Structure formats: structure tokens, C-alpha cells
Amino acid sequence: MGVIYEPRGKAREYSELALNLYKGCSHACKYCYCPAITRQSLEDWSKDPQPKVDILKKVEREARKMQGCSKELLLCFMSDPYQDEKSANITRQTLLIFEKYGFSKIQVLTKGGELAINDFDIISRNKGWKFGSTIIFENEALREEWEPGASTIQSRYNAVKKAHEMGIYTWVSIEPVVNSEEALKVIKNLKPYVSFWKVGKINHYPEIEKKIDWSKFLKNALIELNGQAFMIKKDLLAFYDPKTMNPIYEKPKAIKTIIVSDIPIWIREQRDPQGKAECDEFRARAKARNGKKTIVNKKLY
Ligand code: SF4
């Protein structure tokens, strides 16, 4: 397998292609699934992260072969592209390689906050590229407890706001939800700056899972997300009840778990006339359906 690969299983819900630049991650999130996958302790996973051997050469070689790639590619599922200055520099070189070879859909996902801002020049000049941040808390003490090596919440907020200000498509991953109230606060406060949301529950932590009323959380999240473009991950979507929750209008086959509330705000609408036309058409169809749930075989973006 090359360094650019097709994720499998649940990770596939996030992106068609992925690239992990590092082995290990200094953010040391308590919920990180990577130590289990790589069969090591969280301590070992996070104590001395290193770039993969010859990573830039390998990226260059593979990117050259994939010139003009239009599949969405995520940095990174396993590790974070912005852990410190060194990793940020490798990420910048990587983005420049993808730009050189005409990759049209790159997205970064990070808990590195303002460290990523230095690359917004590259991201903003490539119109299909996106900046994503995982933010599951407002409360800094909870962040410190669960994500001790990651940037502060304020720093992540600042990065999302800056990206939005620069016209970059922003998305926020609220996954894994470990505290439902905190997750709702993030949606409420960052709403004006976020193009797309991804929301998912915590798994493999039965003690925490038991404490959260997932139906109630989903219901409140759908209210909070009304008018936003978003995706609810499968495990959380299992708690959807059409009788008591905000209607779901769109569930395209191509992206099985994406759902859009009654006033979809898709980034394409803001970016190109065809996207705007599709959104207008969608609104008309949603209105005609009078709020009934339907399945539409159509890609959203
Ligand atoms: S940022 Fe991601 S890869 Fe890094 S420790 Fe946290 S969950 Fe794991």
C-alpha cells in the first residue's frame, strides 16, 4: 500500500483517500483509536511522534502518478498534520506537492489550531480545498483532560474563524461526542463560521456512552444545526426518530449518511452558479414534498 490510500470501514465515511504523514501524535487524546490499531499504549503513541521515512519523497512520487486527482483526500486520519512546527512544515511541503500536481479536493483535519493558519494561503487559492478542525468541547479543563497535547479551544476557534474570513470552506468534526452539552455549545457558537459539520458519538467507552441520552442529543443537535449543512455519522444516526426530530430531507446514495436540514447551505452554492442552481432546485423539491423524508440519489458536492 502506498502512503496515499483508500480508507476502509468507518473511516470511509470521512474521505475517499487519506494520507498520514506521521507515526504517532503528540496530541495524546484519551479517546484516540490509533494506539489500539497500532497495538501500543497511548503513552508510546504520543511520546515521540516522527514523520514517516522519506515521506515527502513518497508523497511526491505517488502524487505525480495521480496527477489531476479529483477524489477527496484527507490529511490525516492517524496522526495530526499540525502537531508542532516540524510537522507543520512537512504538511506545508505536502500541500505544495498536491497543488503542483493539481489535486482538486484536499482537506486537512487538525486539532492544531492557529498552527495551521500559515497554510491558509495555499488552501485559499485552491478552491476545492477545505480546512477542518475537531472541536468537541468549549470547556478548556475538559479539553486539557481529554486532549492534553492539542491546541486550546480558543486557538481552534481562531483558526476556523480565520479560514472562514479568508473564504476557505471550513468544516468542524464534533466526534467523538463525550459530553453532549459541550458539543451543542460548539455548534451554537461556531455556526456563523462553519460551512459543514460532521457529528458522531463516542464508541468503545461504555461508561461514557451510557451516561448520554443519544436520542435527546441528536434531537437537540438537529435543532441547533437547522439551516446548516451537516452529516451525522451512522452510529448516531441510528437514534434518529422522524416522529420527534427535525425532518431529514436528503439522504443521497453516494454519501450514505449525509443529511441536510430544511435550508441547505452548501458551499457550492456560494462558490459556483451550478451549485446555486442545484440548491435552488433542492429547495423547491423539499418544499413540494412538504417536509417528508425522502431518499434522493444525488451527490451533494
Ligand atoms: S489528534 Fe487524532 S491522531 Fe492525534 S492523538 Fe488525537 S485522536 Fe489520536
Q: Which atom of ligand 1 is nearest to the CA of 45?
A: 5
Q: Does 25 contact ligand 1 (Cβ within 6 A)?
A: yes
Please report, as a single letter, which amino acid is at residue 1.
M
Is residue 299 over pLDDT 50?
Answer: no
CA of 294 to the centre of ligand 1 (A): 36
Ligand 1 pocket mutation pick from 27, 178, 202 by most atoms within 8 angstroms of CB: 27
| Residue 131, phi-psi category: left (phi > 0), alpha (psi -120 to 50), beta (remainder) | beta
Between CA 251 and CA 263 the distance in angstroms is: 14
The whole-model pTM stands at 0.83
SS3 for 50?
A: strand
Q: How far is the CA of 132 from the centre of ligand 1 (A)?
A: 14
Residue 257: the pLDDT is 37
The neighbouring-strand residues paired with 199 are 174, 232
Q: What are phi and psi of 274, to 5 degrees?
A: -65, -40
Q: Are 165 and 136 in contact (CB under 8 A)?
A: no
Q: Are residues 18 and 74 in contact, defined by beta-carbon separation less than 8 angstroms?
A: yes
Residue 198 forms beta bridges with which residues? 173, 231
Residue 191 phi/psi, 5° resolution? -45, -45
Q: Is the CB of 111 under 6 A from ligand 1?
A: yes
Residue 115: CB atoms within 10 A of its CB come to 21
Please tell me the residue having the least CA distance from ligand 1 atom 6.
29
| Cβ atoms 183, 199 nearer than 8 A | yes
Q: Which helix (H) or strand (E) holds 159?
A: helix 153-165
- The answer to whether 276 and 269 have CB atoms below 8 angstroms apart is yes
Q: Does the Cβ of 80 fall within 6 Å of ligand 1?
A: yes
Which of 33, 79, 109 for mutating ligand 1's site (highest number of atoms within 8 Å of CB)?
Answer: 79
The gap between the terminal CA atoms of the chain, to the nearest Å, is 28
Q: pLDDT at residue 251 above 60?
A: no
Report domain extents, the chain: 4-240, 247-301
pLDDT band at 245 (very low <50, low <70, confident <90, very high): confident
What tens digit of pLDDT does each residue of 259-291 get?
443 333 333 344 444 445 555 655 565 555 544
Q: Does ligand 1 come within 6 angstroms of the Cβ of 110?
A: no
Nearest CA to ligand 1 atom 7: 32
Topology of the domain covering 4-240: TIM Barrel (3.20.20)
